[in-house]
Amino acid sequence: MTGIRIHDFVIKELGKVNPYGVYDLGRNEGWVNIGTDHDTATFAVASIRGWWQSMGRPAYPKAANLLITADGGGSNNSRCRLWKVELQKLADELGLSVAVCHFPPGTSKWSKIEHRLFSQITQNWRGRSLESHEVIVNLIANIMTTAGLKVQCQLDTTPYPNGVPVSDADLQAIQIERCAFHGEWNYVIRPHNPS
């Protein structure tokens, strides 16, 4: 008899996985990056970059900016210095302005990604043994809903160390414009050399 792992138990051979998702509300499409290292701001932005390269750029070839709605906590929290530094790198790399709107504390339960993407992931792997990275990726990538949700998923084995320092100089170099309404949660990061 094989034991089934439930909840958040670590599989010694696999470690713990970190899913980071991007959900395109207008197209009803999701992108999930399955990280095998730490859930850091660098990993979060790498996930957004992966979505852009795989799904975003083909869908929006004339885009001049990205709009990200993000939780107020975790790897993409509004007070995380590394999150903003990594977004600046992304803006510079893509030549796009990156607008960010964080959900206020305690309100992430109203995020569309929770209800339209991650709830489907949970339903799809209910009662299944998550015994390998391949199984996890395939279960997520094969989600089908009556509303037409499409999901792409990839495994990310890149190391993302914790505790990456961000100097005051790094923070000062960010081209950030805070919005008049709750600028601590709503801001735009402009590329240094827009295309």
- CA-to-CA dists, residue 50 to 53, 56, 113, 141, angstroms: 5, 9, 17, 15
Residue 11: inside a domain, yes or no? no
3-class DSSP assignment, residue 28: coil
What is the model's pLDDT at position 63? 96
> DSSP E strands: which ranges in the chain?
18-24, 29-35, 65-70, 97-102, 150-156, 176-178, 186-189
Residue 47: inside a domain, yes or no? yes
Whole-angstrom Cα distance, residue 45 to residue 103?
Answer: 17
Residue 194: inside a domain, yes or no? no
Q: What is the mean pLDDT of the chain?
A: 88
Q: pLDDT tens digit string along 60-87?
A: 999 999 999 998 788 899 999 999 999 9
Residue 119: inside a domain, yes or no? yes
Nearest Cα residue to 52 out of 90, 78, 84, 19 = 90
Residue 10: inside a domain, yes or no? no
User: How many helices and strands (H and E) does the chain possess?
Assistant: 7, 7
Whole-angstrom Cα distance, residue 103 to residue 85?
Answer: 20
User: pLDDT band for position 102 (50/70/90)?
Assistant: very high
What is the model's pLDDT at position 5? 42
Q: pLDDT tens digit string along 11-49?
A: 666 778 889 999 999 999 999 999 999 999 999 999 999
Residue 167: inside a domain, yes or no? yes
Q: Order of strands, edge to edge, in the sheet holding 150-156?
A: 18-24, 29-35, 150-156
Looking at the DSSP bridge assignments, the partners of residue 155 are 34
Q: What is the pTM of this model?
A: 0.88
What is the model's pLDDT at position 56? 97
Residue 7: inside a domain, yes or no? no
Residue 148: inside a domain, yes or no? yes
The total number of structural domains that make up the chain: 1
Nearest Cα residue to 190 out of 104, 65, 77 = 65
Q: pLDDT tens digit string along 133-186?
A: 899 899 899 888 888 899 999 999 999 999 999 999 999 999 999 999 998 989
Tokens of residue 168, six digits: 């005051």
113: containing domain: 18-189
Residue 173: CB atoms within 10 Å: 12
Nearest Cα residue to 113 out of 15, 5, 9, 33 = 33
